[in-house]
Chain A
C-alpha cells in the first residue's frame, strides 16, 4: 500500500502546472467551447505545445514517439488537464485510436497514423453510436461492403463529438449481417474529406455544438484502412472503452468546481449577511462532496494501478466512470443550489456569478452519465464482469 505519488510524479505535476499557466490565456477558467473559433484555435495551440514537450502521447512506448510514461503518470496528467479545464488533450487520438493501432494495427497503419497523432497535427473522432444503436451498440447497422480493394460504407453515426473538426474517424461498421450481431462488426479508418461523408451539427442542451450526426453515402474506404481482422471489430472497438471509461476527467472537473464553490462560499454572503462558509449546513455538505470526489479519485487511480500491472479489469473502469460522473454531477448540483437565483444568469450579465458557467456546466455534463456507456450500462458491466451475475 502506498497512497501517494512518487516525488518524480509530483515534480512532473509542478512542471505541468507551470506549463499550463504559461500556455493558457491569463485568467483562463474554461471550460473550452469547441464551437468557439478562439477556443478551438487555443485547443490546437495547446495540442502542439503539449506535443513539443512530449507530453501529448507520453504514455505511448518510445518507438511510437512516446515517453513510456507509467499509467499513473498519465492519469495524473489527465487529472491536471481536466482540473485546469485545459483544451488540447486529444483523447480520441492519443487515448483511443493510438493505443488500438499499436495493438491491432498493421505496420503501415502504425507508421502512417501514429506520428501524426503524436505531433498533434491530426484530429480524430469516434464513430460508434448510431440513431438506433445506443446502449445496444452491437446492433449497429452502418454497413461496409467490400468492392474490389475498397469498402463501400453506407449509414449514419450520431453523437459524434468533434466530427466537425476532425480529419479522420475510426468507426465500427457491419461487415457481415448473417452472423450473431457481435461477430459481424469491423473497424475502419475513414478520411472525413471522403466524398459522401456529410457532417451535420447537433446543438446540445447547454447551447453548444460539440457533437454531430455524420452520414455516409457510398463512401469509399481503402481496404488497408481495416483495423484488425475482418468481423473482429467488436473486440477491437471495445478495447478503447477502458481508456474512455476512466473517470479521472470527471474527478478533475468536479474538483475544480468544488474549489470554485469554496472560494464563492468564502466571498459571498447569503441571507442576513452571513458568509456561506460560516453556514454549518454548507460546510457539512461541501465536506461530504469532498469525500465523494476523493472516493471516485481513488477508483480512477486504482484503474491506473491495474494498468501498471498489465491488467485491465473492466469492472473497476466502470466503477471509476460511474463514481466520477456522479460525484461531478453532485458538486454541480450543489453549486447551483448555493448560487440559487444567480445560477441561471448567463455569461455577460453584470450580475452573473462565476460567469454563469455552473449552469452551463450542469447542462453540459448531463452527457457524462450517458456517453461511453450510460450509468445503467456501467452498473450492468459491474454486475456481469465484476460479480459474475447472470446475463439474460
Chain B
C-alpha cells in the first residue's frame, strides 16, 4: 500500500495547480470568451497527450498522472474537452483502433490540434447495449450512420466524435466509428446545461464514414465502450474528489473568517462537525477514486469493483459535501454572485454521468456476486 504520489505525479500536480489556479477557477468558469485561449494553452502544455504513448506523440506519463491532473481540473472548474479527449477517446483509440488510425489521430490529440468526444448514449440515457439504436450500414468501402446521440459533451466544439452504432442483430453487435464533426449529415443541437459544460444532441442522417474509420473489428465495439465507461466513471470520481477537496478548502477558510456572536462561526461545534463530515467524505472519495484509476493502469482483477465503489461513493458523497458547504456559508452561499454554486452544479451533474450512485451500487452487487 502506498498512498503517496510518485515524482512524476507530484510534478504534474504542482504544475496543474499552479497553472489552473491562475488561468481557470470560478472567474474563468463564468467567462466563456476566455475558453479558447485557455484551451490552446492547455494544448501547448501537452496535457491532452499526457497519458498517450510516446510512439504516438504523447508524454506517456500514465493514467495515474492523468488522474492527478484531472483532480485539479475538477478542483478549478476548468473548461475544455480534456476529459473527452484524454480520458475517453485517446485510451479507447490506443487500445482498439488499428495501427494506421492510431498513427493518424493520436498525435493530433496529443498536440491538441484535434479534440475528440464520444457519443454512445441516446435519449434513454442508458449504458445498456440494447439501448443503442443508431445504425451503421455498410456500402462498399464505407458506412452510413443514422441515429440520434444525446448528452454528447463538447459535441459542438470537438473536431471528431467516436460514435457507437448498431451493425448487427445481436444485442452487442455494435461498432465504433471515428466521425468528423463537420461531416455531411451531422447536425448539432446545443443544449443548455446547468453544469456550465457544453452538451449537445447530435443527429446523424446517413453520415458517410470510410471503412478506415471503423475502430477495431466490426461488432466488437461494445467491449470498448465498457472499457471506456470504466475510464469515464473512474475519472469522474477523480474529478469529484478534486472538486470536493476544493469545496472543503473554500468552506474551511470561510468559517474561519465569518464572525457571528463575536466569534468565527467555525468555532461552533455544529459547524465543526459539518466540516469534519466533509473532510472524511472527501478523503474517502480521494482514496477510492485514485485506486480506481490505479486499478485501470494495473489491469487489476478488481477493476469493476473498484470503479463502481469509487463512483458510487463519489456520486453520493460529493454532492452532499457541496450541500453541506452551502449550509455552512449561510445566505451568501445561496447567491448567484458567490462561486460556491459553480462547484455544486458540476458535482450534481457529474454524479449522474457514467452511471449514478444506484447504477454503480447495482453493478457492484453483480461484481461482488451477492
Contact = CB atoms under 8 A, between A and B. Distances in A.
Nearest to B6: A1
Contacts of A305: 1-4
A389 interface: yes
A265 interface: yes
Given A302-B3, A389-B256, A376 B291 contact: no
Interface string A6-38: 000000000000000000000000000000000
Contact of B362 (A277, A284, A387): A284
Size range of the chain B interface in the assembly: 35 or more
B365 A286 contact: yes
B269 A380 contact: yes
A323 B279 CA distance: 11
Interface stretch (B32-40, B211-219, B220-228, B281-289): B281-289
Nearest to B280: A319
Contacts of B295: 3
A382 B267 contact: no
A97 interface: no
Contact of B365 (A1, A2, A283): A283
Interface residues of A, number: 49
B358 A5 contact: no
A392 B267 contact: yes
A298 B276 contact: no
A314 to B, nearest CB: 13
A1 B294 CA distance: 7
A1 B3 contact: yes
A163 interface: no
Given A319-B280, A383-B275, A287 B1 contact: no
A75 B3 CA distance: 15
Contacts of B362: 280, 283-284, 287
Interface stretch (A113-121, A199-207, A222-230, A288-296): A288-296
Contacts of A265: 370
Interface string A362-392: 0000000000000010111011101111111
Contacts of A72: 1
B280 A287 contact: no
A170 interface: no
Contact of A298 (B2, B9, B273, B291): B291
Nearest to A72: B1
A2 B358 contact: no
A265 B370 CA distance: 8
Interface of B: 1-6, 9, 64, 248, 252, 255-256, 263-264, 266-269, 271-273, 275-277, 279-280, 283-285, 287-288, 290-291, 294-295, 300, 306, 308-309, 312-313, 316, 358, 361-362, 364-365, 368, 370
27 contacts: A1-B290, A3-B295, A3-B300, A5-B1, A262-B368, A262-B370, A282-B370, A284-B361, A287-B364, A291-B312, A295-B284, A296-B284, A298-B291, A305-B1, A319-B279, A319-B280, A378-B276, A379-B272, A380-B269, A383-B272, A383-B273, A383-B276, A386-B279, A389-B255, A389-B264, A390-B266, A390-B267
